[in-house]
Amino acid sequence: MPRIDLNKELNPVARPKLGHLETILVNSRVVACDGGDGVLGHPKVWLRIVDHQAYCPYCSREFVTHPEAKITSTTGEH
């Protein structure tokens, strides 16, 4: 029977293999991404920034907390 590593993330977001499209600086730990291209975008997803960055699983945008930002708990969209 295979061993389960309990220290490993259960549902990690796949990191982009070919790089990300763009990096967006944010002032919040929760952000929304819809692809930004209107009808060519993707379903809106909400991402929680745990350390200092998060990647959108659809479009590979990277969201990074602004280094000088006072991080809030409110929702911020790009």
* Per-domain boundaries in the chain: 23-71
The pLDDT tens digits for 4-61 are 555 555 455 555 455 667 899 999 999 999 998 788 899 999 999 988 899 999 999 9
Q: How confident is the model at residue 51, as a pLDDT?
A: 86
Average pLDDT, integer, range 65-76: 68
Q: How confident is the model at residue 68, as a pLDDT?
A: 82
The pLDDT tens digits for 18-27 are 566 789 999 9
Q: Residues 6 or more apart from 26 whose CB is under 8 A from it?
A: 49, 63, 64, 65, 66, 69, 76, 78
CATH number for 23-71 (one of 3.30.70.100, 3.40.50.170, 2.60.260.40, 3.40.50.2000): it is 2.60.260.40
Q: What is the reported pTM?
A: 0.62
